[in-house]
Chains A and B, each alone.
Chain A
Amino acid sequence: MPETTFLDANELVINMGPQHPATHGVLRVKLKLDGEKVVGSECIIGYLHRGVEKIAENRTYQQFAPYVDRMDYVAAVTNGMGYCEAVEKLLGAELPPRAQYTRMILAELQRIASHLLWLGTHALDLGAMTPVFYTFREREEVLKIFENYCGARLTTHAFRIGGLQYDLYDDFEREVKKFCDQFLPKIGEYEQLLTTNRIWMKRTQGGGKLSAEDAVALGVTGPVLRGSGVKWDLRKAQPYEAYDKVEFEVPVGANGDTYDRYMVRIQEMRQSVGITRQCVERIAPGPIFGKVGKVIKPPVAEVYHSIESPKGELGYFVVSDGTTNPYRVRVRPPSFVNLQAFDKMVQGHLIADVVAIIGTIDIVLGEVDR
């Protein structure tokens, strides 16, 4: 947003946030308005910056693992999974199948939980009060499974570099299956509330459009990219864990608007249920830890590894100097990069749509600011 145009008489610059209920954290947006129309925007971020990457350099590989949970704190399991996999790649460690399937089950449940939180708050932002109560009810079931597995609900630190800390508890498979059976019809209930709801359609269709070319140019990933019609999912393109052994579809949108991104996430939840079921079928007794020593000293090298987190491509670039501490850890946060597309999406829309567009990108400020 060029500085000089701020003086134009017809335009008004207003400030939104950082303490605003619809910015999903501490995001501050400067909006340049022409009447009620947004003609320019600037995101001001960093209120939640904790220097995660600097902390990593001062901790051992294992000590840093719990910190990554505090970035995308509504999807801690996938954060931890990405970090553990990056270090395992650096070490060249192979995981036993039981550990792989456990990770996939928890990661897919986390995707469901993250999408449910997104759906509830996004609908609430747009004035639909009801869905948030339903989605939080189902999210609670997922969090209970996490709590039974590792004792924590939110910042789980569920995995260790090389495998798992805990084996599955006795009732795990039954509980996960029960959740899948109960949850699948619930998605239909959310859809009844929203998908053909005329108010919902009016608010979301055609809003926050992002073309496929713009999406790729801006490096947008995850449901935002797929909503724009690019059929790309890291679980398919570059499979990690055992994603090449399960079957699932990659849902895409056509118009790249807020409604399409909503539909993509709804369908992704169904696919996640499918993946979870397949994993539960295949999980077999066996070891849960690969050949990784107690002291982690990777070779002098560097790797970039990324996974499909609920928000998009979550990457870790880890540089080792052969000691027990990483020389550098770079986190490629999906929310940070996706937020950059906000300016493109918001131009020309009414100020009332700004909250819809912030909601549809699905950002978590802990991850944007790190």
Chain B
Amino acid sequence: MVKPEPWSSPWLEELKKRFPGAITDPLVFRGQPYFTVSKESLIPVCDFMKTAEGGAYTYLVDETAVDYPKREKRFEIIYVLYSFQRNDRVRLKLLTGANEKVPSVAGVWPTANWLEREVFDMFGIEYEGHPDLRRILLPDEWVGHPLRKDYDILKQDDAWVQANLGIESGQ
């Protein structure tokens, strides 16, 4: 069975040297590299990667999360970055627990504003330093975060549905 393999490149070594201990688990799968970055170093690493020296990753393609409820730190936050200059895509990962706050990258890439609102809406991950952290797709008063693994597919906020839609259940 194929598996992600360890990844290394001159650029990554340079990044590791610059931020000692911040970068772990560099892996590559089907030619797509990714690595984990520590929470304390997230903003400095992102700031550096955005500069020309750091690879000019000026475009935040996507930010999303994956829920692994059995792990000690249950959420993985994924940042997909792209550099027009290098025509290269790389993914960053950040591990975080259920009740921990995550630094917002909206100050680095303005795109992150809505993307982080969606992660907050769907997973309940709170961001620190986000300009406008509110729900984006679900109603503001909704209780629960649907993309968490412990949120059943048939589950919904019955109280909200009854109060606002005037029906017994949306199902």
Residue from the set B67, B136, B146 with the largest chain A CB neighbour count within 10 Å: B136
CB-defined contacts of A218 to chain B, threshold 8 Å: 110-111
Residue of A nearest to B156 (CB): A51
Among A46-101, those with CB < 8 Å from B are: 46, 49, 51, 53-55, 57-58, 89-90, 92
Separation in Å of the A303 CB from the closest CB of chain B?
6
A147-155, A253-261, A311-319: which lies at the interface? A311-319
In the complex the two chains form, what is the Cα distance from A333 to B91 in whole Å? 18
Instruction: Report A5 CB to chain B, min CB distance, Å.
Output: 14
Q: Is the CB of A304 within 8 A of B80?
A: yes
* Contact B137–A303 (Cβ < 8 Å): no
Contact digits for B105-118, partner A, Cβ 8 Å, 1 yes 0 no: 00001110111001
Identify which of B2, B87, B153 contacts A299 (C-beta below 8 A).
Answer: B2
Contact between A49 and B60 (Cβ–Cβ < 8 Å)? no
Bound form: Cα–Cα A370–B64 in Å: 15
Q: Is B6 an interface residue (CB 8 A)?
A: no
Contact indicator per residue, chain B 143-163, by CB within 8 Å of chain A (1) or not (0): 000110001010000000000
CB distance from A51 to the nearest CB of B (A): 6
CA A369 to CA B30, docked complex, whole Å: 30
CA distance A158 to B66 in the complex (A): 29
Scan residues 235-278 of chain A and give those whose CB is less than 8 A from a CB of chain B. 237-238
Is the CB of B62 closer than 8 A to any CB of chain A?
A: yes
Note all chain B residues with C-beta closer than 8 A to A313: 61
For A301, the chain B residues whose CB sits under 8 A away are: 2-4, 29-30
> Is A219's beta carbon under 8 Å from chain B?
yes
Stretch at the interface among A6-14, A25-33, A118-126, A324-332: A324-332
A304 and B113 CA atoms in complex are apart in Å by 21
A302 touches B29 (CB 8 A): yes
Tell me whether A292 is interfacial, beta carbon within 8 Å. Answer: no
In the complex, what residues of A have CB within 8 A of residue B153's CB? 51, 54-55, 57-58
> For window 44-99 of chain B, which residues contact chain A by CB distance below 8 Å?
58-62, 64, 66-67, 78, 80, 84, 87, 89, 91
**Do the beta carbons of A303 and B80 come within 8 Å of each other?**
no
Interface flag for A306 (CB, 8 Å): yes
> Within the complex, what minimum Cβ distance (angstroms) separates A50 from chain B?
10
- Bitwise interface map of B from 4 to 28 toward A, beta carbon under 8 Å scored 1, else 0: 1000000000000000000000000
- Whether B114 and A337, one on each chain, are in contact in the complex, defined by CB atoms closer than 8 angstroms, is yes
Q: B30: which A residues are within 8 A, CB to CB?
A: 89-90, 92, 301, 303
Known: A90-B30, A303-B32, A340-B114. A315 touches B137 (CB 8 A): no
B1 interface residue per 8 A CB criterion: yes
Known: A219-B59, A301-B29, A332-B62. A315 touches B80 (CB 8 A): yes
Chain B nearest CB: distance from A338 CB in Å? 10
Q: Which residue of A lies closest to B119 (CB)?
A: A330
CB atoms of A46 and B61 under 8 A apart: no
Q: How far is the CA of A213 from the CA of B1 in the complex (A)?
A: 44
Q: Is there an interface contact between B114 and A306, defined as CB atoms closer than 8 Å?
A: no
| Cross-chain contact of B80 among A319, A332, A369 (Cβ < 8 A) | A332
Q: Which 10 A-B pairs have the closest CB atoms?
A: A219-B111, A46-B137, A332-B62, A330-B64, A49-B137, A301-B29, A340-B114, A299-B2, A328-B66, A217-B110
Tell me the A residues contacting B by CB distance below 8 Å. 45-46, 49, 51, 53-55, 57-58, 89-90, 92, 216-219, 230, 232, 237-238, 299-304, 306, 313, 315, 317, 319, 327-328, 330, 332, 336-337, 340, 369-370
Interface residues of B (CB under 8 A from A): 1-4, 29-30, 32, 58-62, 64, 66-67, 78, 80, 84, 87, 89, 91, 109-111, 113-115, 118, 122, 136-139, 146-147, 151, 153
26 residue pairs A–B, Cβ–Cβ below 8 Å: A49-B137, A49-B138, A55-B153, A216-B58, A217-B58, A217-B111, A218-B110, A219-B109, A219-B110, A219-B111, A237-B87, A299-B1, A301-B3, A301-B30, A303-B29, A304-B32, A313-B61, A315-B61, A315-B62, A317-B80, A327-B66, A330-B64, A332-B61, A332-B80, A336-B118, A337-B115
